[in-house]
Amino acid sequence: MEERFFTVKEATLNNNCPECYNNTGLHLTFKQKFIETKLYKSITNETSQEIECKVCNTIIYPARWTDDIDRVYNYHQRAFIPKKASTKLKQLAWLIIGISIVVAAGIITALVLWQ
C-alpha cells in the first residue's frame, strides 16, 4: 500500500520568516492524503498543512509560528475546502468481483441442480 499527500492548495504568505526574516519566502501548502493499493485508489479525509520558507528552505513547524503567521494560517484554513473523499476500484478489483459473482452463480446453480 502506498500512502502519499498531494497538494490541494498553495498560498504565499507575506509574513516574515522566523528563521531568515525574509518576507517573500513563506509558502503555506495544504495537502490531502491519498492511498493507492493494488485494488483501489482512495482520497481520504486526512489533511495536513505545512509552511515552508523558499528563501532559506526551512520547514516552519507550528512551534515556530508567530502570532501573525497563526492569524494568516487560520484565515487560509477557514477558506480551505478539501477534496471530497472518494475511492475508485481498479481493474483488478473489478476482475475479482466479477470472478466472485461467476463463482457464486456457479455454486448456486450447482446447489439448485443437485436437489
Binding of Zn ion at residue 17 (CB under 5 A)?
yes
Q: Report the residue number, 18 or 30, with the smaller CB distance to Zn ion.
A: 18
Max intra-chain CA distance, the chain: 83
Please calculate the CA angle 30-34-36 and round it to the nearest 5 degrees. 165
Radius of gyration of the chain (CA): 24
Checking DSSP bridges between strand 26-36 and strand 86-89, what pairing results, if any?
unpaired
Q: Report the residue number, 55 or 89, with the smaller CB distance to Zn ion.
A: 55
Binding of Zn ion at residue 55 (CB under 5 A)?
yes
Q: Report the residue number, 15 or 32, with the smaller CB distance to Zn ion.
A: 15
Interaction site with Zn ion (CB under 5 A): 17, 19-20, 25, 53, 55-56
